[in-house]
Amino acid sequence: MQYVPTQNIQAQSNQLIHPHFGYVILVFIYSWVMLAYLGLKVGLARKKYNVKYPNMYSDKDPLFNCIQRAHQSTVEIYPQWLIFQLIAGVVYPITASLLGIIWVTSRFTYAWGYYSGVPEKRMNGSYGYIGLLGVIFLSIVVAVKTLISSG
């Protein structure tokens, strides 16, 4: 895909990229920062608790396991969130970006709850479902509108 400056896009009747899609891109960058932070925390915890690769978890230190799980559970849902965020963001970039900020921020809150050593505190980040379910809903709307307009 070729980059077309905003002024050229707006002059055309068939826009390739919504002028506000930059917000979606910034949310993707924010999500990368979040993943890097969670990964760094696991790396530092590996050294602190002496958990060698390829071991995913510690038999001795439950706090390491909490730190690892905060990262792992985020990595498990991240690909699905990326797809829904992208689909929603193509048509509803501002709304999708706000929902994305909610989801990404909630993953920090989720991790900090886990880092406390009390796994139940991870639920402090459950507000992230607003962001996740929001972009899933918007993706369904985009799919339905696309099918209706093509039929």
Overall size of the chain counted in residues? 151
Burial class (CB in 10 A: 0-12, 13-18, 19+), 12: exposed
Cα(85)–Cα(81) distance, integer angstroms: 6
> How is residue 25 written in tokens?
């891109």
In 3-state terms, what secondary structure has residue 123? helix
Which stretches of the chain score pLDDT less than 70? 1-15, 151
10-41 tens-digit pLDDT:
445 456 888 999 999 999 999 999 999 999 99
Domain boundaries defined on the chain: 44-145
Q: Is the pTM of this model over 0.85?
A: yes
* pLDDT score, position 16: 81
Architecture of domain 44-145: Up-down Bundle (1.20)
Q: Are 73 and 125 in contact (CB under 8 A)?
A: no
Cis peptide leading into residue 79 (ω within 30°): no
* pLDDT score, position 150: 79
